[in-house]
Amino acid sequence: MQREAFAYIKGKYYDFSGNNIAFTDETFKNKKGSISAFDAIIKREAAKHGLDWRFALAIICHESSFNPNARGLGGAYGLMQFMPGTGPNYGVFPTSTPEVQIKGGMKFIAKMDKLWSGISDPNERRKFVLASYNAGVNHVHDAQKLAQKRNLNPQKWEGNVGEMMLNLGKHEFYSDPVVKAGALRGTRTYKYVNKVMSRYENYKNLVR
């Protein structure tokens, strides 16, 4: 338990340039025209929730490099890198099959997408979904409230909520009364959003 807690805190407050799992950033279609061995399942399950399957594909690649047995910081596991306290809520456990992991993951992404349904632009909304996936919804709400307080747009990421996310590690920001979830090394989340969105744009050009 102590080691898990330390790993979680380390990931939350200290900056890492990449994700929890080491993998190459070079991704490409194989000879069969697919990105991963799970493309068909991801496409099917994403469609059930009205999600762009390539967005889900980009998340999975970044989280686990398509390794269903991947282990990460704080006990995160599987393709979606669910935390031990979250995965079971979606029927996903460390021993779950890749299909079950993907089904649970799509439900979770869909829940985040619905949570941010007030953001009408789909691509903008995806950035908030990613930030929530990486840092937790409460930290994103804090960044949103900080943006609003500073007359920035609480429904725009770049230069607005994203800018406040970058500042959540600074005392003058995380000590603001509107902040409820405390400090966060927001650079990690900011980089996460940029990297996954970049991969998503790449996948849109590679697969349909």
Q: Is 37 left (phi over 0), alpha (psi -120 to 50) or beta?
A: alpha
d(CA 110, CA 121): 16
Residue range of the domain that includes 54: 38-115
When pLDDT is averaged across residues 169-183 and rounded to a whole number, the result is: 98
- Identify whether 31 is part of a domain: no
Among the three residues 115, 144, 172, which one is the final residue of a domain in this structure?
115
The catalytically annotated residue of 4, 45, 63, 163 is: 63
d(CA 122, CA 114): 11
When pLDDT is averaged across residues 71-82 and rounded to a whole number, the result is: 97
Residue 97 has pLDDT above 50, yes or no: yes
Residue 68 has pLDDT above 60, yes or no: yes
- Identify whether 85 is part of a domain: yes
Identify whether 63 is a catalytic site residue. yes
**Same domain for 135 and 170?**
yes
d(CA 24, CA 54): 18
Tokens of 52: 């762009």
d(CA 104, CA 86): 10
d(CA 81, CA 124): 23
**Same domain for 102 and 51?**
yes
Residue 9 has pLDDT above 50, yes or no: no
For residues 193 and 143, is the Cβ–Cβ distance under 8 A?
Answer: no
Handedness of CA 85, 72, 132, 41 (dihedral sign): negative
CATH code at position 96:
1.10.530.10
Higher pLDDT, 58 or 21: 58
Confidence grade of residue 74 (pLDDT, cut at 50, 70, 90): very high
**Which pLDDT score is estimated for 28?**
52
Residue 167 has pLDDT above 90, yes or no: yes
**Same domain for 77 and 97?**
yes
